[in-house]
Amino acid sequence: MIRVVIAEDEAELREEIVEYLCAQGISATGKERGAEVLEFAAQEKCDVAVLDIGLPDISGLEVAYELRKMQPIGLIMLTARGMVSDRVAGYDAGADLYMVKPTDLRELVAAIRSLARRLETEQAAPSTTTPVEDLDDSWRLDKSEWTLFSPGQEPVRLTATEYMFLAKLANSSVMPVSRSDISVVMGYPKTYDPRALDAVVRRLRRKVEEMTKRSLPVKAVHGVGYAFTGVISCD
């Protein structure tokens, strides 16, 4: 059963979402405050979190960031803020999907199931390894923990979206991967805003540099997509 935690400060809407998800066979727990979500996630394993941005104590963006540190989890931002800058901020914070209120709950259920299915498939995928000649210069992607290890073995916990992005590049060696191929793997709709992918890459580069003091060897290939230009293994 898919386990979901919802952060929504409007009591009526929160109860409506929880009741609907439960009726659809999804284990759902609703929380009013961001701190309550973090406390719950520290004690319970969750597959997906649905977060409003405007929570009464801390921003849903901050909750998303903190959840990423705690456990592998899919993140859906469900908010009334629909401007491009808001969407980019959501993806920068680690969102896998960004949905704008009002949203048909049937669509939310479909999004939750799609995200949970995608994450489960990715975790169950067989390991692939890129031959390495000098381990001191290689990066390593650990699928069981959604973690990227730098050549110096500094760990960087990844979001589901970040992990799938790097896994796609790793499986293509140094060959560039098109934006369309990346978007399919990451579950983006055909009409997705290209800036969402750029936001993911920008956030990932910043995170890696902050945590490892190294530059992530991901290169933007003009007119094509992205390529991982270093040595990387997946296990």
Q: Tell me: the pLDDT tens digits for 200-213?
A: 888 898 899 989 98
pTM greater than 0.75 (yes/no):
no
Residue 112 or residue 221, greater confidence: 112
Instruction: Count CA within 13 A, CB hemisphere, residue 147.
Output: 14
Q: What is the mean pLDDT of residues 121-135?
A: 49
| Sequence ranges of the domains in the chain | 3-124, 135-234
Omega within 30 of 0 (cis) for the link into 189? no
- pLDDT score, position 133: 41
Indicate if the pLDDT at residue 136 is higher than 60: no
Helical spans, DSSP H, in 72-190: 84-93, 105-124, 160-171, 179-185
Which region among 13-22, 94-103, 111-120, 192-201 has the lowest average model confidence (pLDDT)? 192-201
Tokens 């390529």 -> residue: 227
The neighbour count for residue 235, using CB atoms within 10 Å, is: 11
Say if residue 190 is exposed, middle or buried (CB neighbours under 10 Å; 0-12, 13-18, 19+).
exposed
Distance CA 177, CA 168 (A): 8
Architecture of the domain defined by 3-124: 3-Layer(aba) Sandwich (3.40)
Helix or strand holding residue 19 (H, E):
helix 11-23
Q: How confident is the model at residue 56 (pLDDT cuts 50, 70, 90)?
A: very high
Q: How confident is the model at residue 78 (pLDDT cuts 50, 70, 90)?
A: very high
Distance CA 208, CA 218 (A): 11
Q: Are 157 and 69 in contact (CB under 8 A)?
A: yes
Which region among 59-63, 115-119, 151-155 has the lowest average model confidence (pLDDT)? 115-119
Would you identify the CATH topology of the domain 135-234? Arc Repressor Mutant, subunit A (1.10.10)
- pLDDT score, position 117: 84
